[in-house]
Amino acid sequence: MNQQQTTRKGQSGSPAAQGKAQTASKTHLPTSGSTTKSQNIQAPAPRNASKWREGFKPASSGMSTPMLISLVIGAILVAGIIVIAVITPAISNSGSSADVPLGVEKTYPINNGVNNHKDGPIDYAATAPYVIPPVGGPHNPVWYNCGIYDQPIPTENGVHDMEHGAVWVTYQPNLDANALTALQGIARKYQKILLSPYPGITAPIIASAWGNHGSTGYQIRVNPGDWTTLQAFITKHSGASDAPEVGGECTGGKGTPLP
């Protein structure tokens, strides 16, 4: 045995060399065919794995509960405004016209009223527009004789007079005696006019007319003493050329007016 061989044998047999060999065997990675526990160790996740998982988080609406409640309430309010906007025109052309200021002439659309004759009582509350007294619409086949009456006359007959171009002036039954005398004096100046008390009206005096060839009704509410406004309304509509039935008679019907 030569010196080189002796040296190699000494190195491999020394305790230090043996310790290094054992350490190397422990740290040596197993081959693909090995079944050691190191194969069960999960590989570390990529550095951007957390960001990748965050990308799949459910999208948030960004709205808190109070905000959602506010949106619902807002939608309800908008719907309410729309409903009010739709029904307000119908309301403005219905009722007793008590919301109309005194001395202001109000117009109302009339549909299917001309020559719409009906016997018996007529439910004007179901007829559009519903105002008291009516300003047009279905009516009795017979008109009332024009003139002055100290008792209420049937509404259905009075509406027929307006179809012939008469102005129907109504007043509250408790109207002051002096005001009534002045009112009767005004009525005597016109041929096509009806003057009568009308229970339930919302102003001391209400004058009504039907014109625009049957498509429009007119009405004005006045206080006693505002005779200029009242006479202007009567002059404008009594025997007007746009009456539903121009030239319609104002005599030869029902009723006996005061002399």
Of 81-95, 194-208, 237-251, the poorest mean pLDDT is in: 81-95
Query: What's the predicted TM-score (pTM) here?
Result: 0.64
Model confidence at 79: pLDDT above 70: no
Give the count of beta carbons closer than 10 Å to the beta carbon of residue 163.
22
Enumerate the β-bridge partners of residue 148. Answer: 195
Q: Give Cα separations from 157 to 9, 213, 259 (angstroms).
A: 144, 19, 20
Q: Domains in the chain and their CATH numbers?
A: 106-237 (3.40.30)
Better-predicted residue by pLDDT, 208 or 45: 208
Question: What is the tens place of the pLDDT at every residue in 221-239?
Answer: 999 999 999 999 999 999 9
Residue 216 DSSP symbol: E
Residue 97's pLDDT band, with cuts at 50, 70 and 90, is: low
Strands, E assignment, 102-154: 106-109, 147-148
Q: Which residues contact 237 (CB under 8 A, 6 or more apart)?
A: 165, 167, 209, 211, 218
Of 20-24, 125-129, 207-211, the poorest mean pLDDT is in: 20-24
Give the orientation angle of helix 3-13 with respect to helix 15-27, to 10 degrees.
60
